[in-house]
Amino acid sequence: MQSIGAEAGKMNGQQMDALLRRFERPLLQYATRILGDSDRARDVVQETFVKLQNEKREQIDSGPAKWLFTVCRNGALNICRKEKRMTYLDQELLETRASEEPAPFETLEQKEASGFLLKILGTLPPRQQEVLQLKFQNDLSYQEISEITQLSVSNVGVMIHNALKTLRQRYGRASRDFLPFTPRTVS
């Protein structure tokens, strides 16, 4: 493997690869949600990793996830501002208004049915999706999520609480219908 981290205090190729593997897809999803456009999201994520490469180790070691999501989020919001597009910051609109997905089954297309829960997830307001992704996909604490999203810690707590409540309601039955099969025979 080619090493690019020759300079002292920077990431080496192996570490970069590990982070790329771990966070590429989560970051893409994250940026896509903000931008509403996966093509631009890809550019933002790429840029984020470029910045990561030039970042000093000590900035990252404490928490690469927090660093990556903060940089990625700012990059995405910059594009929003620059292009005067729908602003993700328009919190009121996004938080109160349930995502308009008519039914979870209408949406995510490619995976097998095991992604049932993720489909329901797609019906939550985007802001709630965002905090859930940060919390449960990327294991960030309320505090870290608060720093990334510029929301107060208690606000994060309320959003996660509400999001989980809704999710559990909608998920409800999903796994109840299934119990192991025991063939019945004629006595």
178 contributes a contact to other proteins by CB under 8 A: yes
Q: Which one, 62 or 184, has the nearer CB to other proteins?
A: 184
Q: Is 89 an interacting residue with respect to other proteins (CB under 8 A)?
A: no
Does 95 participate in binding other proteins (rule CB under 8 A)? Answer: no
Which phi-psi region, left, alpha or beta, contains residue 152 (left: φ > 0; alpha: ψ -120 to 50)?
beta
Site string for other proteins, 105-144 (x = CB under 8 A): xxxxxxxxxxxxxxxx-xx--x-----xx-xxx---xx--
The single residue among 44, 77, 94, 131 that binds other proteins, judged by CB under 8 A, is 94
Interacting residue with other proteins among 16, 70, 91, 147 (CB under 8 A): 16
Q: Who contacts 186 (Cβ-Cβ below 8 Å, separation ≥6)?
A: none
Alpha-helical (H) ranges within the chain are: 13-35, 38-54, 57-61, 64-82, 91-96, 116-121, 126-132, 142-149, 153-171
CB-nearer residue toward other proteins: 9 or 172: 172
Stretch that binds other proteins, among 55-63, 66-74, 177-185 (CB under 8 A): 177-185
15 binds other proteins (CB under 8 A): no
Residue 98's identity, in one-letter code, is: A
Cα distance between residue 91 and residue 125, in whole Å? 10
DSSP 8-class letter at 111: S
State which of residues 35, 44, 60, 68 lies at the interface with other proteins (CB under 8 A): 35
22-44 burial, b at 16+ Cβ within 10 Å, e below that, comes to ebbebbbbbbbbbbebeebbbeb
Stretch that binds other proteins, among 9-17, 55-63, 64-72 (CB under 8 A): 9-17
In the range 146-175, which residues lie near other proteins by CB under 8 A?
A: 154, 157-158, 160-162, 164-165, 167-175
